[in-house]
Chains A and B, each alone.
Chain A
């Protein structure tokens, strides 16, 4: 079975631009979470979605937004890019919305902001 997939793999943008990152969860998984991993640090939580509803939001500015579609795939949008947004963006899926569920991560999208 395919794991979590993310697109694109790499992305280069300039300051002020907008970016959309995409994620497809493992088949049958209904929850998707997004994390930002800055070089040399652990991932930081951005959003969690379950059944198309936002279930949690991390300490990120309103420039960050996300949504989940009826097929459970998800998009992360970042507006007005800053240099500090350069990071690996990780998507994770889990079966449902249970606290015991394991989150399985995709390979990530490497975003570079120039």
Chain B
């Protein structure tokens, strides 16, 4: 069965420090992987995606993510956190074998960046 795990409910980091939000996945075939961010009372905003090619993907607002096939992980990273990065982050996977192309989301990780 397809699934996404975000093992941390919350990540706390000081402004200016690097941040990592973890994500692992399970799909039957090769995955397509996505990160979205959700601010309070808002929809989801797309950050980045991995389709194929370079394992390091760069996205919006200085975020990047590293695809690791052997560890089935797709961790989100940023070299220097901003207070404005505080939000709810969702990892999602799409299975190439699924004709509906639906996104399967993790449970989300709340990022809190303190000044």
Contact = CB atoms under 8 A, between A and B. Distances in A.
Given A55-B101, A56-B101, A92-B44, 5 more contacts: A42-B105, A48-B100, A48-B102, A56-B99, A108-B42
A87 B34 CA distance: 23
Interface size class of chain A, counting residues whose CB lies under 8 Å from the partner chain: 20 to 34
A103 B32 contact: no
Interface size class of chain B, counting residues whose CB lies under 8 Å from the partner chain: 20 to 34
Contacts of B101: 48, 55-56, 97-99, 101
B9 to A, nearest CB: 9
Interface of A: 4, 6, 33, 35, 40-45, 48, 55-58, 90, 92, 97-108, 110
Given A42-B90, A108-B43, A56 B102 contact: yes
Nearest to A102: B46
A107 B103 contact: no
A111 to B, nearest CB: 14
B45 interface: yes
B108 A41 contact: yes
Interface in B72-105: 90, 92, 94, 96, 98-105
Interface string B47-58: 001010000000
Interface-centre pick from B51, B92, B103, B107 (highest chain A CB count, 10 A) = B103
Contacts of A101: 101
A90 B102 CA distance: 13
A102 B102 contact: no
A70 B42 CA distance: 28
B113 to A, nearest CB: 21
B13 to A, nearest CB: 22
A45 B104 contact: yes
A105 B90 CA distance: 13
B100 A42 contact: no
A45 B101 CA distance: 10
Given A99-B94, A107-B42, A43 B105 contact: yes
